[in-house]
Amino acid sequence: MFDDINNHNLKDASAIKFIAWFTIIIQSLFPISMNFIPSFAVAQSNTLQQWDNVETQPYIIKDGETIDNVAKKLNLSFSQLAKLNQFRIFSRGFENVKPGDEIDVPVNTGTPGNAANTLPVKMLYSDSTSTNITRNMNKTTHAENFGFIRSSDSANDIARTMINSAATEEIQKWLSQWGTTRAQVNLDKKLSLDGNSIDTLIPIYNTEDNTFFTQFGIRNKNGRNIFNIGGGGRAIWDNWLLGINSFYDHDISGGNRRIGLGVEAWGNYIQLSANSYFRLNNWQQSRDFSDYNERPANGFDIRANAWLPSFPQLGGKLVYEQYFGNHVALQDNHTLQKNPYSLTAGLNYTPFPLLTLGIDQQFGKGGNNDTQLSLQLTYRPGSSWESQINPSSVSGIRQMSENRYNLVERNNNFIFEYKKQDLISITLSKDEISGPENSIHLVSGQVKSKYELSQILWDSDKYISAGGRVSVVNNKNFNLTLPAYKTNGTPGESVEEANTYNINFVATDKKGNKSNSATLKVIVTSSGHSASARFTGTPVVTGSPSPANGTTAVQVGFTVTDGSGNPLPDQDVVITYNDGTSEKSVTVKTDTSGVAQADVTGTRAGDTAVTAQVNGQAQQAVVKFVPDAVSARFTGTPVVTGSPSPANGTTAVQVGFTVTDGNGNPLPDQ
């Protein structure tokens, strides 16, 4: 999908670096335990010999019982009963078991009773330090049977083994303050070692029913080194272990950050959890792809893990997850989807607590599926080495009471959303140009580009077919020569639309990236006259006669055509007339029908000549104005004739009154 993806070698180099650092961390965290492995092996082999003939059965501590009471009922000492349960894991320690906890007791009558005679004689020893050292010496004398110490070994080696074995108990007590450490190696269907990790949970506060912890880890995924740190609390409530947690995730390689919030509900042989993830940073340069930005995608997941009570080594899991964004890479960086989701079903097998093998099948949105094999090494510093490699201890780690130190189940890897960068953009020096036919206009393209500009491309079939030309000045400047003016449009198209063109410009860089499209609007205007323009027909007068009030107009239209009689739009026509006060001259353009129309007003009653001129030709129309009766008024003084006159009732005196309109035009018939 991305042409510039070439990080395969980077992944290989990162995997090698991770393996090297993983080895260093393991050697740094556990130098003491590595040193004690030989003595652990000796202790394990002798212990197994001593207990070959002892059969055990599970026993639940009842209300009112303590571990001491149970030991007495079995006719055992506390240390003997503890030795019998050395392969079990107790979250509070064997000495703090309480009613409801399960322990191992010798098989006799089915309940605690007289069981001393069923135990090997070698088990009935004191738990003092001196006896421990003596016992270790005895173990050493038999070690050559197993090839751990040869008869030719030096006395220093024998002494070191004895001291190591004697110190084991104290060291395990010191390590019990630690919770769980897990290292994981993944192998996907491409046989790629991707997703290796190491995580550690450390309890920082403990009570009988509550635990507060911190957890941190480091991993490598897709060539990225990721660090996670968080904390939370867990509480035992009504046969369930309930918990909450929060985490801060840091993509060290890519500089991305997010937080996560989670809840847990764990029981015997089942674990349920849900997590949500929220980004802390916005878009930034992607580490995976040179021309993309990236940011963590927000999302959530719901997880369920369960094991068979009858066969606790075998378990299964279901995970539903969804992340949000327009271009999110949930499964791999080559597949970007909008709001992708997936369902993962897996099986795992734990032959002993230290080792877990798993296979997961992921079913993604759009049929994007993936298969992954995994190998987990889970080390519990607070538990003995023997218990961690003993198959019978697996059942114990599936118990709710033993899970309080288990690692939080969440997606510690980042899921990213990607966005193509604006690598190149273009704006034009002008959005619109207009002018008469054959006029030349300079247009410049202003380009912003991450890479070197290659060229600016343009396209407009309509403009070229009309006779327009684009001449390249350089890779950023163009000269446009406008096509001929069209006097008529196509059917359904106006003349203005026929003379309007859109030209699209797109810039490209040396890597082939294309910019946005910038549009230039080109309008071809009429030059204002035509050599063949002439008046056709007679002027059309509308609204005559009209009151000579200076406001009520008479419309006069003159038709202009070419030599073939075709109407000529956009022709300048000069129209002159006298409005009763002065000579008026206006220039109007012909419309699409070739008609130049003017509104003529007057204040003088009578005929008014209106003259139009175009291309040296003239045409005249006559309009008529009449006095405005609405504005009738008396003007001047009355005229009296025949006064004085005899008062005989027959000889008259004439009196005359003058009536005009507002502009002094006489008003007859008033």
User: Using CA atoms, how far apart are residues 61 and 387, in angstroms rounded to an integer?
Assistant: 21
Q: Is the pLDDT of residue 142 over 60?
A: no
Token pair listed for 228: 């996670």
Q: Is the pLDDT of residue 31 over 70?
A: no
Model pLDDT, residue 156:
52
Q: Is the pLDDT of residue 381 over 50?
A: yes
Specify the DSSP class assigned to residue 366: G
What does the DSSP assignment read for 303-336? EEEEEETTEEEEEEEEEEEEEESSSEESS-TT--
C-beta atoms surrounding 663 within 10 Å: 19
Banded model confidence at residue 191, pLDDT cuts 50, 70, 90: low
List, for residues 307-318, the tens digit of each pLDDT value: 999 999 999 999
Model pLDDT, residue 194:
63
Listed range (37-41, 175-179, 328-332) with the worst mean pLDDT: 37-41
Which residue is associated with the tokens 């009773």? 113
For residue 338, give the nearest of 327, 329, 323 by alpha carbon. Answer: 327
Alpha carbon of residue 607 to chain centroid:
80
> Which conformational region is residue 654 in: left (phi greater than 0), alpha (psi within -120 to 50 degrees), or beta?
beta
C-alpha distances out from residue 598 to 6, 94, 588, Å: 74, 112, 7
What CATH number does the domain located at 534-626 have? 2.60.40.10
The widest CA-to-CA distance across the chain, in whole angstroms, is 182
Q: Which is more confidently placed, 12 or 557? A: 557
Q: Is the pLDDT of residue 126 over 90?
A: no
Q: Is the pLDDT of residue 86 over 90?
A: no
Q: Is the pLDDT of residue 280 over 90?
A: yes
Question: What's the mean per-residue pLDDT of the chain?
Answer: 79
> Residue 144: helix, strand or coil by DSSP?
helix
C-beta atoms surrounding 55 within 10 Å: 10
Listed in order, the ranges of the chain carrying CATH 2.60.40.10 are 425-523, 534-626
Token pair listed for 444: 């410049």
Calculate the dihedral angle through the C-alpha atoms of 244, 248, 251, 256, rounding to the nearest 10 degrees. Answer: 110
Share of residues in the chain with pLDDT > 70 (%)? 78
Residue pair 460/501 in contact by the 8 Å Cβ criterion: yes
Model pLDDT, residue 178:
62
What CATH number does the domain located at 177-420 have? 2.40.160.160
Rounded average pLDDT over 129-144: 36
User: Using CA atoms, how far apart are residues 513 and 501, in angstroms rounded to an integer?
Assistant: 27
Model pLDDT, residue 171:
44
Specify the DSSP class assigned to residue 393: G
Listed range (121-130, 187-196, 334-343) with the worst mean pLDDT: 121-130
pTM exceeding the 0.75 threshold for the entire prediction: no
Which residue is associated with the tokens 């006489």? 666
Q: How many CA atoms lie within 13 A of 588 on its CB side?
A: 22
Please report which helix (H) or strand (E) contains residue 37, including its range: helix 31-50
C-alpha distances out from residue 116 to 8, 46, 55, 113, 199, Å: 65, 20, 13, 9, 44
C-beta atoms surrounding 656 within 10 Å: 10
User: Using CA atoms, how far apart are residues 341 and 335, in angstroms rounded to an integer?
Assistant: 12
Q: Which is more confidently placed, 51 or 257? A: 257
Rounded average pLDDT over 386-391: 85
Please enumerate in sequence order all residues whose Cβ is within 8 A of that of 364, keeping only pairs 6 or more positions apart, or say none. Answer: 330, 331, 335, 340, 341, 342, 370
Listed range (65-69, 83-87, 533-537, 596-600) with the worst mean pLDDT: 83-87
Q: Which is more confidently placed, 533 or 72? A: 72
Q: Which is more confidently placed, 201 or 488? A: 201
For residue 160, give the nearest of 631, 564, 168 by alpha carbon. Answer: 168
Token pair listed for 124: 């009935």
Q: Which is more confidently placed, 329 or 495? A: 329
Rounded average pLDDT over 552-574: 86
Q: Is the pLDDT of residue 87 over 80?
A: no
Listed range (96-105, 142-151, 582-591) with the worst mean pLDDT: 142-151
Q: Is the pLDDT of residue 539 over 50?
A: yes
List, for residues 152-186, the tens digit of each pLDDT value: 444 554 554 455 444 444 444 444 456 788 887 66
Listed range (4-13, 424-433, 593-602) with the worst mean pLDDT: 4-13
Q: Which is more confidently placed, 73 or 242? A: 242
Model pLDDT, residue 527:
66
Q: Is the pLDDT of residue 193 over 90?
A: no
User: Using CA atoms, how far apart are residues 541 and 488, in angstroms rounded to an integer?
Assistant: 26
C-alpha distances out from residue 424 to 112, 167, 478, 639, Å: 83, 69, 19, 92
Banded model confidence at residue 8, pLDDT cuts 50, 70, 90: very low
User: Using CA atoms, how far apart are residues 115 and 109, in angstroms rounded to an integer?
Assistant: 9
Model pLDDT, residue 47:
42
Listed range (11-20, 310-319, 472-481, 553-562) with the worst mean pLDDT: 11-20
Alpha carbon of residue 449 to chain centroid:
25
List, for residues 573-630, the tens digit of each pLDDT value: 889 998 888 888 888 988 888 899 999 988 888 888 999 988 778 899 999 988 877 7
Edge-to-edge order in the sheet of strand 546-547: 546-547, 617-626, 606-614, 572-578, 583-589
Alpha carbon of residue 31 to chain centroid:
44
User: Using CA atoms, how far apart are residues 413 and 225, in angstroms rounded to an integer?
Assistant: 10
The single-letter code of the amino acid at 454 is: S
The CATH number of domain 425-523, selected from 3.40.50.300, 3.30.1330.20, 2.60.40.10, 3.40.50.1820: 2.60.40.10
* Residue 527: φ, ψ to 5°: -75, -5
User: Using CA atoms, how far apart are residues 618 and 607, in angstroms rounded to an integer?
Assistant: 19
Banded model confidence at residue 33, pLDDT cuts 50, 70, 90: very low
Ranked by mean pLDDT, which of 55-69, 143-157, 400-414 comes out on top? 400-414
CA-angle at 636, arms to 633 and 642, nearest 5°: 115
C-alpha distances out from residue 93 to 85, 96, 169, 310, 386, Å: 11, 5, 13, 25, 16
List, for residues 489-531, the tens digit of each pLDDT value: 788 888 888 899 999 999 999 988 999 999 999 998 876 556 5
User: Using CA atoms, how far apart are residues 315 and 541, in angstroms rounded to an integer?
Assistant: 100
Model pLDDT, residue 174:
46
